């Protein structure tokens, strides 16, 4: 067909276009060139920016664009994440944070296992496999070790040429370097130890096909975490995030992968049925929430993974925190609970939202949703 005649590779995202046979090589080439031009436009001078703003206004309803500095910083971090990460950790990362985070993960994983043992709807076989999956979850905290070794770090960028005072040339050089790096991985075994996340981001992840949880250095700072905070605040902040990521390993998507990250059915059929019934409660509950500001209901089915993870994360972190506060500190139950919730609630719900975020929220609810949070609070403040 025309696609193979043109000898061009396109990602699956464009498969809709490829299924049609009524286009010529010329159309396809123009399309690809147009994609390249579109990806370069955010980097160009104001005259081009204006056209782009008008186009996005009609296409996505976006009324205001981000500041140029913020776009440049984000793009540089995304494309040269390890170099930026090395600078970030040198000046901003307290190395004791890694030890503390590991200890918190240990206690929250323990709480997860306790809750697992208490749950009455799982059969004992599935429960045992679930425990072994939770126990073998790898954790990545902060940054990969080679960032502290300048020689190893520069090896990453050996093929990249950056010149002073030549901005667009540098952008093209980075895109070329990126493409080369990606092609290098082709047909090679997956390197499971490789970090794919830039360290200087405020985010956290669960990777189902590696069974790891990742907490980059960027999230291990206030308001999520500080070595100067009391434990209760850290459990209310990063603790909830840790529990959230662990729970992703057992949500509607994560549960389909085994402890080695292979897609596999390790649940007994009756337990799958029981899981679906309970997931339906979460779907129904969240579908009733309306975001007044945009006058739209949350799609509970699409966001169930995030909502399951939020519920799990809160439960596990609360459990650890409850015992720390009630048993060890010996202060009254009420004040301890208040201290915990006072922190958790603003952290989760009190994030402010600017004009761009407002538009983004509407777009997310109407389109992609997927693994993103769609609630007003979550989409604005916490991307995990």
For residue 107, the minimal CB distance to Zn ion (Å) is 20
Distance separating alpha carbons of residues 361 and 174, to the nearest angstrom: 30
For residue 316, the minimal CB distance to Zn ion (Å) is 14
For residue 373, the minimal CB distance to Zn ion (Å) is 7
User: Residue 236 or 305: which CB sits closer to Zn ion?
Assistant: 305
Q: Are 237 and 224 in contact (CB under 8 A)?
A: yes
For residue 247, the minimal CB distance to Zn ion (Å) is 8
Residues 237-276 touching Zn ion, rule: CB under 5 A, are none
Q: Of the listed pieces 57-65, 87-95, 131-139, 303-311, which binds Zn ion according to CB under 5 A?
A: 303-311
Known active-site residue 295: no
User: SS3 for 147?
Assistant: helix
E strands present in the chain? 138-142, 205-207, 212-216, 290-291, 296-297
Known active-site residue 212: no
Distance separating alpha carbons of residues 279 and 300, to the nearest angstrom: 10
Distance of CA 90 to the CA centre of its chain: 24
User: Residue 198 or 306: which CB sits closer to Zn ion?
Assistant: 306
Q: Of the listed pieces 62-70, 169-177, 302-310, 333-341, which binds Zn ion according to CB under 5 A?
A: 302-310
Site size for Zn ion, by CB under 5 A?
2
For residue 101, the minimal CB distance to Zn ion (Å) is 17
* DSSP count for the chain of H helices, then E strands: 17, 5
User: Residue 126 or 307: which CB sits closer to Zn ion?
Assistant: 307
Distance of CA 198 to the CA centre of its chain: 11
The residue with tokens 């697992």 is 116
Tokens read off for 79? 């494309």
Q: What does each C-alpha distance from 193 to 24, 157, 236 come to in angstroms? A: 43, 19, 30
Distance of CA 361 to the CA centre of its chain: 16
Q: Are 66 and 356 in contact (CB under 8 A)?
A: yes
Give the residue nearest to Zn ion (CB). Answer: 309
Q: Of the listed pieces 10-18, 258-266, 304-312, 356-364, which binds Zn ion according to CB under 5 A?
A: 304-312
| Residues in the chain, overall count | 384
Residues 142-181 touching Zn ion, rule: CB under 5 A, are none
Catalytic one of 245, 251, 347, 359: 245
Catalytic one of 198, 251, 310, 359: 310
User: Residue 306 or 347: which CB sits closer to Zn ion?
Assistant: 306
Q: Of the listed pieces 131-139, 305-313, 320-328, 338-346, which binds Zn ion according to CB under 5 A?
A: 305-313
**Contact footprint for Zn ion (CB under 5 A):** 306, 309
So which residues are the catalytic ones? 245, 310
């Amino acid at each position: 067909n025309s696609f193979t005649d043109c000898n061009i590779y396109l990602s699956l995202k464009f498969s809709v276009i490829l299924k049609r046979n009524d286009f010529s090589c010329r159309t396809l080439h123009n399309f690809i060139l147009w994609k390249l031009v579109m990806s370069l436009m955010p980097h160009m001078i104001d005259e081009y920016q204006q056209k782009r703003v008008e186009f996005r206004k009609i296409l996505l309803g976006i009324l205001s664009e981000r500041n140029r500095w913020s776009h440049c910083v984000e793009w540089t971090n995304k494309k040269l994440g390890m170099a930026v990460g090395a600078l970030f950790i040198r000046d901003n990362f307290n190395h004791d944070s890694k030890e503390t985070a590991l200890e918190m993960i240990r206690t929250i994983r323990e709480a997860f296992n306790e809750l697992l043992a208490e749950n009455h709807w799982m059969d004992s076989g599935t429960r045992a496999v679930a425990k072994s999956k939770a126990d073998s979850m790898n954790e990545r905290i902060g940054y990969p070790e080679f960032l502290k070794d300048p020689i190893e770090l520069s090896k990453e960028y050996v093929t990249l040429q950056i010149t002073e005072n030549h901005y667009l040339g540098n952008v093209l050089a980075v895109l070329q370097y990126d493409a080369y790096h990606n092609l290098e991985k082709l047909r090679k075994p997956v390197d499971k130890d490789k970090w794919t996340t830039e360290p200087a981001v405020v985010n956290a992840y669960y990777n189902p096909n590696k069974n790891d949880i990742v907490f980059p250095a960027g999230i291990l700072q206030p308001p999520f975490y500080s070595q100067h905070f009391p434990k209760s605040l850290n459990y209310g902040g990063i603790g909830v995030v840790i529990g959230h990521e662990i729970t992703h390993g057992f949500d509607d998507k994560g549960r389909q992968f085994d402890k080695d990250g292979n897609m596999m059915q390790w649940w007994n059929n009756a337990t799958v049925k029981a899981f679906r019934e309970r997931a339906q409660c979460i779907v129904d509950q969240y579908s009733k929430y309306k975001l007044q500001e945009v006058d739209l209901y949350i799609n509970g089915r699409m966001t169930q993974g995030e909502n399951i993870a939020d519920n799990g994360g809160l439960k596990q972190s609360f459990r650890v925190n409850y015992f720390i506060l009630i048993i060890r500190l010996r202060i009254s139950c009420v004040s301890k609970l208040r201290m915990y919730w006072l922190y958790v609630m603003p952290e989760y719900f009190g994030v402010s939202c600017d004009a761009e975020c407002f538009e983004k929220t509407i777009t997310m609810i109407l389109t992609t949703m997927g693994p993103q949070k769609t609630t007003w609070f979550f989409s604005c403040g916490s991307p995990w």
